[in-house]
Amino acid sequence: MYTGLVALTWGDAVMNLELSDEQEAVRRLARDFVEREVAPHATAWDRAEEVDRGIVRKLGEVGFLGLTVDEEYGGSGGDHLSYCLVTEELGRGDSSVRGIVSVSLGLVAKTVAAWGSEEQKRAWLPGLTSGEYVGCFGLTEPGTGSDAGRLTTRAVRDGDDYVIDGTKMFITNGTWADVVLLFARSTDAPGHRGVSAFLVPADTPGLTRRAVHGKLGLRGQATAELVLEGVRVPASALLGEEGKGFSVAMSALAKGRMSVAAGCVGIARAALDAAVRYAGEREQFGKPIAGHQLVQELISDIAVDVDAARLLTWRVADLVDRGRPFAVESSKAKLFASEAAVRAANNALQVFGGYGYIDEYPVGKLLRDARVMTLYEGTSQIQKLVIGRDLTGVSAF
């Protein structure tokens, strides 16, 4: 089992950090894809506040929207480490594009694959994995973010249907989505025990979407508010059992945090590459700024953040692939990698001096995009509470 020179151990496990030939091939494919289809457009998409929607089909064609999903349902298979390699590369190119995959595949398709009936898998997975459909994840509401268990959207049983009313806020892919994985209160059980998950076609009458504009970062991403007024879905839209919706949401987010972490490694790597290149070119005091020790400190801090964030992320992927518990490790990876991405982009901006502050150079966008990573899919404070609960056995929620 231990064949490489470099290995990590935790518990009784040994992880070989050498990538397999297949994983290397996936990484190369993702790098080429990002160089060709994403990086050249990232600044323009950011300025236009809209990623070209054609990217979704391209992501589907190359197999990135089907990673880890069974080929039987249109997926491209592969392991979770490969998924992290792809999300890292996409995060390096443009976090707005990375988010499309992390949500449509990571939060929606993978959750349908894990919790869906045969009928639901056949109805949604081929479309989501090919890029014909886009999925979004509707948990947050105007009044409930961190405290999602108290959401107020209601699904009331009416014969063979449910009728849903409520509002969802900050929904990634929201204006583009064909299907909403929606969380609503369907029983009188208190708190999270009353929540159920539904697969709601986005064109169902009564569902309206409003684009959220003016974001600090992720400007190319289609973020929306969803308003549901008398939205009628058949009982077969229920994903998993009634009252188990919060478990569905938390299982999705546990894997989702790994994907955010991998995207953050990509941001930090982009910051590192940009800082090293610029430090070699820019001269002050008669020599390249790379020759000033305090500039080297900024760059080396970024490099350590990249490596540490990546190792934490790969550990999660390894645990998932071996069927081991991973939720707390995923919170650790997301907490560290998101804070590291902000630090890395900020350090890179410092290396660029005043030029870093204008959007002709890439580092300002990296910092703006990184900033949300410590907020969504559970803020840094919420990750600390998850980790603290695991260590102490006491829930602070």
Residue nearest to ligand FAD (CB): 145
Instruction: Give the list of residues 6+ apart from residue 251 with CB closer than 8 angstroms, or none.
Output: 111, 114, 115
Q: Which is nearer to ligand FAD, 172 or 330 (CB)?
A: 172
Task: Specify whether the CB–CB gap between 342 and 217 falls below 8 A.
Answer: no
> How do strand 179-185 and strand 135-138 relate by DSSP bridges?
parallel
Task: Considering the complex, state which of residue 198 and residue 376 has its C-beta at the smaller distance from ligand FAD.
Answer: 376
State the catalytic residue, choosing from 88, 89, 329, 377.
377
Q: CB of 311: closest distance to ligand FAD in angstroms?
A: 25
Q: Is 377 a residue of the active site?
A: yes
CB 215 → ligand FAD: shortest distance, Å?
Answer: 6
Q: How far is CA 192 from CA 48, 145, 147, 185, in A?
A: 39, 13, 9, 8
Q: How far is the CB of 30 from ligand FAD (least distance, A)?
A: 22
Nearest to ligand FAD of 58, 215 (CB atom): 215
Residue for token digits 């160089």? 35
- Judged by the rule CB under 6 A, the positions of this chain that interact with ligand FAD are 103, 136-140, 145-146, 170-172, 215, 218, 223, 372, 375-377, 379, 381-382, 385
Task: Please name the residues in contact with 22: beta carbons below 8 A apart, sequence gap of 6 or more.
Answer: 78, 82
Instruction: CB nearer to ligand FAD: give 134 or 320.
Output: 134
- Where is 184: in which H helix or E strand? strand 179-185
Measured from the CB of residue 380, what is the shortest distance to ligand FAD in angstroms? 7
Residues in the chain: 397
Q: What is d(CA 350, CA 284) in angstroms, rounded to the nearest whole number?
A: 14
Catalytic residue positions, numbered? 377
